Amino acid sequence: MRTIPILMPQLGESIAEATIIRILVEPGRVVEAGCDLFEVETNKATMAVTAPCAGTIGQIVATAKTSYAVGSTLAAFEITMENALSLGLGEETKPATSAPSASRTSSEEVENLHFKISDNDVISTRQPTVEPVVGGLPVPAGATGASYISPRMRARMLELGLNASDLAGVPGTGAGGRVTVEDFEAFLRALEQHRMTPASPMRIAVADSMRRSWMRPLATVGSPIMLDAMLAHRKKTDPKPGPALYVIRALALALAENTAFAGRLVGNRIVHPLAIDIGFAVEVDDGVMVPTLREVEKTPLVKLVPTYNKLVEQARARRLPNDVKRPGIATVTNFGTFGIVWATPIPLPEQNLVLGLGAGSKVPHWSEEVNQFIPVTEAELTLSFDHRVLDGGGAGRLLKRVAELLQKPELL
């Protein structure tokens, strides 16, 4: 007979450890090849550790509800010399007397098992350890958060209507900073000590939208823009367009020149929009609504004013018609109305772009015409975008084109 270790196998690419859920055998039990020995759980699925061949279970050193690194010894396994040879192990000195051996396990019986025993495998008291890593770098000692959630944890969260974002601030005590069930239950008990109020349906809808949006790699670029030409045009226009409407029209014209900027990446293709429909953000009680203006590139600025004003009133009353609730290809938000100078707004999940206008202020600007500084009204224009579709250079060119169009408002 020969004793070999049952090791925690590599259960999948990038899997460094697994948690033993159940121990399915006991010492002294005789098992066949492929028999399930341990039920284990990874961050991908629940699987079983199986016997590499027929044999007898020896000492079990693993315990349930504990995580073990790949390569850790879980139990000792006694096998015949014939089975050892089938696994590729070299011969050892035969004992003086030997019990009748079981029939030799065929090579087909040991194919596709989790691992193959090498001749160097021995029972060792030193267990491998998992160094917590994120992206290949060591995790700082103070790192927290639900970076790993087991299937059992996800089931519990689903039962309570929670998602990974709700656990962002929960410190994990498991290997690699994983949040264990015990950490999760302690977090829930701690919540009971705080004052809590129900979130409105609007707040929940906004939160879900932003959570889905953040699943993409987002970036933001910005540039100052002079508003004097726009403000002068607005004074002599009746009815008067709002500053955001100027930006909406300029963005629509710029996107009509290159629709790929507003495209969406689906698989390995950029899907171009069929129409230049632009949404705009309207603050309402405990949330934001985004009505959409249709085919903005085909409608002159002055004709957009009545429709825009009506949609603002309907949004604030939460009585938007269904046809304007369908999202456009981009959104414009005028965060300058709140005195905000610079921001990084987040595109809606269905969109690639959101253009933001900051608060205007008087600043000195060097004029080549008069060869001196002159006062101008300037604001920051920001563009947040899906970095999979658009790079910084393309985003900068789009922002520059919007700024150029705003300097000629009579053409809008």
What does the block give as tokens for 407? 């300097």
Read off the tokens for 357. 């206008």
Evaluate whether 9 touches 123 at the Cβ level (below 8 Å): no
Range of the domain at 192: 145-196
Residue 203 in domain: no
Q: Please give the distance of CA 159 from its chain centroid, rounded to a whole number.
A: 21
pLDDT digits (tens, 9 = 90+) for 370-397: 889 999 999 999 999 988 888 889 999 9
Closest to 88 measured CA to CA, from 34, 50, 52, 48: 52
- Stretches where the chain sits below pLDDT 50 are 92-117, 119-125, 130-146
Same domain for 180 and 227, yes or no, is no
Q: Which amino acid is at 112?
A: N
With respect to residue 46, please indicate whether it lies within any of the assigned structural domains.
yes
In this structure, the answer to whether residues 285 and 367 fall within a common structural domain is yes
241/199 Cα distance (integer angstroms)? 35
Residues 340, 276 within the same domain: yes
252 occurs within a structural domain: yes
pLDDT for res 13 = 58
Q: What tokens appear for 167 in the block?
A: 């656990």
For residues 190 and 221, membership in a common domain is answered with no
**Helices (DSSP H) in 121-269: which residue ranges?**
151-160, 181-191, 201-213, 228-235, 243-257
The per-residue pLDDT for range 96-142, each reduced to its tens digit, is 344 444 444 444 444 444 444 454 444 444 555 544 433 333 333 33
User: What local confidence, expressed as pLDDT, does residue 95 receive?
Assistant: 41
CB burial string 392-407: b at 16+ within 10 A, e below: eeebeebbebbbebbe
Number of domain units in the chain: 3
Are 174 and 44 contained in the same domain? no
Is the domain of 281 the same as that of 404? Answer: yes
- CATH of residue 49's domain is 2.40.50.100
CA proximity to 312, closest of 289, 287, 338, 286: 289
Both 160 and 29 in one domain: the answer is no
Q: What is the pLDDT of residue 140?
A: 34
Same domain for 237 and 340, yes or no, is yes
Angle 250-253-255 (CA atoms, 0-180°, nearest 5)?
105
SS3 212: helix
In a domain, 120, yes or no: no
Q: What is the CA radius of gyration of the chain?
A: 32
CATH number at residue 155: 4.10.320
Q: Give CA angle at 108 (107, 112), nearest 5°.
A: 105
Cβ(67)–Cβ(17) below 8 Å: yes
Contact 351, 328 (CB under 8 A): yes
Provide the b/e sequence for 332-366 (b: ≥16 CB within 10 Å).
bbbbbeeeeebbebbbbeebbbbbbbbebeeeeee
Mean pLDDT rounded to a whole number for the chain: 80
3-class DSSP assignment, residue 296? helix
Other Cβ atoms closer than 10 A to 40: 23
CB count within 10 Å of CB 129 equals: 13
For residues 179 and 410, give the distance between their C-alpha atoms in angstroms, rounded to a whole number: 58
- Same domain as 300, residue 159: no
CA-to-CA distance for 105 and 19, rounded, in angstroms? 30
Question: Does the residue 209 lie in any domain?
Answer: no
Bridge partner residues of 34 (DSSP): none
Same domain, 183 and 279: no
3-state secondary structure at position 125: coil
CB 68 within 8 A of CB 20: yes
Tell whether 100 is covered by a domain: yes
Domain shared by 254 and 314, yes or no: yes
- Tell whether 229 and 350 lie within a shared domain: yes
Q: Is 121 a domain residue?
A: no
Q: Which amino acid is at 267?
A: G
Residue 107 burial (CB count, 10 A) = 10
Asked if residue 119 lies in contact with residue 84, where contact means CB atoms within 8 angstroms, the answer is no
Within a domain: residue 18?
yes
